[in-house]
Chains A and B, each alone.
Chain A
Amino acid sequence: MSRMPSRFLREGRQLPGELEEARQSIEALARSYGLDFFDTIFEMCTYDEINMVAAYGGFPTRYPHWRFGMEFLEMQKSYEYGLSKIYEMVINTDPSYAYLMDCNLVVDQKLVMAHVFGHVDFFKNNAWFAHTNRKMLDEMANHATKVRNAMEKHGTGEVEAFIDQCLSIDNLIDPHGPHIVRRRPIDEDALDSEAPRADIPKMPARDYMDKHINPPDYLEDQRKRRDDEIRRMKGFPEEPVRDVMAFVLEHAPLPRWKQEILRMIHDEAEYFAPQAQTKVMNEGWASYWHTLLMTRHILAPSEVIDYADHHSGTTAMRPGQFNPYKIGLELWRHIEERWNKGRFGKEWLDCDDPVLRRNWDTGAGLGREKIFEIRRTHNDITFLDTFLTEDFCREMGFFTTKFDPKSREWLLDSREFHEVKQGLLNQLASRGSPRIYVVDANHENRGELRLWHDYDALDLQLEWATVTLGNLVSLWGGRPVHVDTRVEGKPVRLTHDGSEMKRQTRKEEE
């Protein structure tokens, strides 16, 4: 790999000699195990710098916005109070950039490097990242320029307020959007076939009088009106649209500069989405590789204690807490073991004998191959859904907890496998965003926007919903916005008209 000069940080951030040697050997080791990553450039940062980079989501060239300042302040505080410390930061680009904190021990730096190669392999090979922009550094810098230009032209306050509105809906995107074509182009012929042009009634007339009695532009007008009517009957959009943000972008009456900013925030949200979708897998994968490389190859005897201390720090799980590093790591190992011992397929699934199961080992040796395969195709939800087995659940001692309103405590509720699994999946899903669709962009034929919440188990947080819908009203040109959802199981329509939100019950099927 060639050493490229730093793209945006100041000079002199190259790894010092000792770490550069470590990097080369760790990189070679990682490749020898089949990890396949982009070139990865490591840079040394002070803790202030790494907090700053982290506040910007890994991109020092982001557009100006107050929330980055807030996040920076929070990280800085939490570091200064000794509550948390960022060991590493790596971004999904080609080449990939990773930041090391300069005051860490050498053993920490080695751990982080091994960990980072795991992440970059995941970024490069996992299907959910396939459509992310690997030149995002440049893109982010372009976004920053755009915002700064807009601020010069329209005023910082106005641009910032608009960005706040855009961010308010930046979770209403279609996480599968980049992977499939959702919208077929509108088939004009199909529309026509239901409303054949010949159908427009004509007055009887002789040929030579026809164009006077039935003027062609009149007929054309009639046809157009007819077609519009059909399109309106079909509703707009024709099918529910998951990517609310893109829909607003295409159809809301926004001036050009606002469109550009909205598009930019949409693209950034789409870029970051896969990282949230694969947190458990990705952290688990990187942890799997750093443990393997460190313990088998890299660690010097004098470093073992520090390594063990810091590794267990990242993978510790407080009772009742969910640590993606820990769960991910354990699950990857569990899968590897299963496929190594041939614990899959019909025979394994049909076997009820606990002794047989415990000693099951066909010597299949397919573990490594299997985990490489899984890291290509899965995301967190499918990963847990497919591979979280009853055995694993028991091994890890999972349980569900319930909030007891009387004692105001979280109490153990159940250790039953299906409940635990369902609970875990719900938890993953709830950390994500609710599935919201645009169902009608011309509600009541008054240009109002109607959304539909594909409700499963959890209510929307109503306070936030109020402010969010208010923002959506501004984006949608001031027209009212509705969301059909449920509150405590009852179907409800939330309506925001720009000044306040109202809540109405609605009929079950609408």
Chain B
Amino acid sequence: MLNIDRDLGRFRDIVKGRVRRDLRKYMSSGELIGRKGKETVSIPLPQIGIPRLRYGENKQGVGQGDGDGEGAGEGQEAGDQPGEHALEVELSLEELAEILAEELELPKIQPKGQKNAASDKARYTGITRQGPESLRHFKRTWRQALRRTVSAGDWDPKRPVIIPIKDDKRYRSFEVQKRPRSAAVVIYMMDVSGSMGQEQKEIVRSEAFWIDTWLRHNYDDVETRFVIHDAVAREVDRDTFFRVRESGGTLISSAYKLCLEILTKGFPVSDWNIYPFHFSDGDNWSQSDTRQCVDLLGESLIPMCNQFSYAQVDSQYGSGQFIKDLHEAFGKDERVGLSRIPSREGIMDSIRELLGRGR
């Protein structure tokens, strides 16, 4: 009865193969973002068919009805030719992250030292003689009854009936186990000054999706926070983050200050693995603000983080100076990831640059 599971498994392998093959396409089109459920991503695939010699499209069809008014001969090609529709296949985020890791050769993240909070988890590993009926261990109970029957000499092979009595009953019992938990907080910061257009935001959105997928794969718990900034910074929800209209000038330090504030308030370094990501076109208002940013990063922010990442999205307005300044200041610091994203096609490489160091 389970044959189908095996065939289904083979098919899913083929699907994974396709996704792997087309990963770059999926990454640059942002197609998967809207398809993310709680634990799965539904992937649209053109139906994988067996190629055969067959006819092309029939240029004529036959229908039936009065043929007047709405719906007359409308709709699909008459007839029911199989196989043109897309197939939706669900992959778990876990599987997607694995594909991502294999394709981008991402190393698994080692959660930082003693930071992990412990959590309790009940596991049913033991056996007791008392317990609720719902936890009765049938096999053990039966075995106990059999043992008793045989040792009492009541066992009759011709009539192999075993009746458990109260003493035979065995129940499952649980033990509480301490399990290390690893939690991470991701803070996405985005420059929404006039030069960050729709296209730039889409790129950030795609990149954030893949970063989420990857970090979720590595940590039990991932919190995300969103900060937007022009000359001032404020915290917003995910939806606003990707939708807000662009305007104003740029003071990057405002975002870093807010980020620091969020972290000191809610995420003690001892319990959390911290990942700030900042996206901007790199056109800061003034050199003095940039200096302030470098100080903030070097003295407070970076020491708290597993990794601080800055990705610069090319836009036709920005000077793109900021990444150069950061490079100068932190180029050798392995806690800092810097990346430039020239276009959608660059998303995959950027992810590799930012997440490729396994921190």
Contacts and interface: CB of A to CB of B under 8 A. Distances in A.
A61 B77 CA distance: 35
Contacts of A164: 50
Interface residues of B, number: 47
A360 interface: no
A317 interface: yes
B70 to A, nearest CB: 9
Contacts of A68: 3-4, 7
Interface stretch (B8-16, B100-108, B331-339, B344-352): B8-16
Given A52-B4, A464-B51, A459 B56 contact: yes
B216 to A, nearest CB: 25
A399 B8 contact: no
Interface string B82-93: 000001110000
Nearest to A49: B1
Nearest to A458: B55
Given A72-B7, A427-B62, A401 B78 contact: yes
B22 interface: no
B63 interface: yes
Chain B binding surface SS class: loop
A436 to B, nearest CB: 6
A427 B78 contact: yes
A320 B74 contact: yes
A430 B51 contact: no
B53 A77 contact: no
Interface residues of A, number: 72
Contact of B78 (A64, A65, A320): A320
B62 A420 contact: yes
Nearest to A74: B87
A326 B62 CA distance: 14
Contacts of A64: 3, 6-7, 10
B16 to A, nearest CB: 12
Contact of A426 (B60, B73, B74, B80): B60
B87 to A, nearest CB: 6
A424 B72 contact: no
Contacts of B10: 64-66, 69, 160
A468 B51 contact: yes
Contact of A66 (B14, B61, B80, B88): B14
A487 to B, nearest CB: 9
Given A69-B10, A319-B72, A396 B64 contact: yes
Interface string B1-35: 10110111111111000000000000000000000
Interface in A269-322: 317-322
A67 interface: yes
Contacts of A411: 72-73
Contact of B50 (A167, A318, A409, A426): A167
Interface of B: 1, 3-4, 6-14, 47-67, 71-81, 87-89
State the 9 A-B residue pairs at the shortest beta-carbon distance, nearest first.
A69-B7, A69-B11, A69-B8, A467-B51, A320-B63, A401-B73, A66-B10, A319-B65, A458-B55
Interface of A: 9-10, 49, 52, 55-56, 60-62, 64-70, 72-74, 77, 160, 164, 167-172, 317-322, 326-327, 396-403, 409-413, 415, 420, 423-424, 426-427, 430-431, 433-434, 436, 453, 458-462, 464-465, 467-468, 471, 483
